[in-house]
Amino acid sequence: MDRLNAMEIFVCVADAKSFAKAAAILDISPASVTKAVQSLEDHLGLRLLQRTTRRLSLTPEGEAICEDCRRIISDVADLAAGDGSRVLRGRLRVDMPASLAKTVIIPVVSGFIASHPDMELVLGVGDKSVDLVEDGVDCAIRVGLNSDSSLVAQTIGAMQRVSCAAPTYIARRGKPESVEDLAGHSVIRYFPKGGWRDVSEEFIIEGKSIEVKMRSAIAVNDVDTYLACGLQGLGIIRIGRYLAQEHLDSGALVEIVPQWTTPPTPISAIYPARRHLSPKVRAFISWAGEVFAAHPSLHPVR
């Protein structure tokens, strides 16, 4: 077996902490994974992994070899990246929120696929964050600040949010015109990662950041459901303009206090800090940055 390929399989096993999961990530048989690791151990004359019935871990020698393998894989990728004529091949796993996938990425992704016909793009779509290392994800697009020091975040855009409500809600509760008015209204909460908590809403009024405590009418953990609640008049929503614009244009939603802005939310491409930024990942991030730059409501932070 090719030595570099065996190194890549070994690193995947180390990251996934499972032969079976590594096989699924790499789309090869578990037997091939076992054979690759065994061949590397035989070549080095070292035991790299400690296997028990419940867990798999690196031996002290395995930890050192794993870092050496990462460096070698990275060096080879750098050489490949330096060859501008090299065709990008293989599978690229990217995770992103469902709303961005359906509304922004999928409508234009054919261009990326056409530019890289020898690549397979595997999109993981959902609002819950995945473990990039253990799940074998090459990179992810995330909305919000990155709080994980083990991940590198590259800002590629910013989400403009809009406060709005359905005409039925406004007819029933009135349209707020001041901070005092807002405090008496109901807001719909969105909690993508679970752990809902009562928080204040932040507005920028005349250049000053002001937090307004608002009552929660209902809390949901899905963007489509969140938007549906707003359209049904259950309360005020604060949602990405890229999702709300068609409903604002049709009159199904009405913007609330448009003169009060909200801080833009960064959109980032993230990848593991210890993992080399491969040419495939670099190509996707560059393309995604161009997509967001061209979108009127998802422009990069300036």
**For residues 268 and 141, what is the distance between their CA atoms, to the nearest angstrom?**
6
Q: Which residues pair with 2 in a beta bridge?
A: none
**pLDDT tens, 34-46?**
999 999 999 899 8
Among 5-9, 130-134, 293-297, whose mean pLDDT is lowest? Answer: 130-134
**pLDDT confidence of residue 208:** 79
Q: Which two tokens stand for residue 291?
A: 């997509």
Q: Which domains does the chain have, with CATH numbers?
A: 3-81 (1.10.10.10), 90-159+265-294 (3.40.190.10), 161-255 (3.40.190.10)
C-beta of residue 34 within 8 angstroms of C-beta of residue 53: no
Average pLDDT of the residues in 88-112? 93
- Return the percentage of the chain with pLDDT > 90, whole number: 44
Interior angle at CA 289, CA 288 and CA 292, nearest 5: 85
| Residue 272: per-residue pLDDT | 85
**What's the whole-model pTM score?**
0.75
Dihedral sign (CA 211, 217, 222, 223)? negative
Burial label for 198, CB within 10 Å (0-12, 13-18, 19+), is: exposed
Whether the per-residue pLDDT at 54 is higher than 90: the answer is: no
Nearest to 205 by CA among 172, 171, 181: 181
Once rounded to an integer, what is the mean pLDDT over residues 263-278? 83
C-alpha 6/C-alpha 65 separation (Å) is 12
Read off the pLDDT band of 117 (50, 70, 90).
very high
Q: What is the DSSP string of 202-227?
A: EEEETTEEEEE--EEEEEES-HHHHH
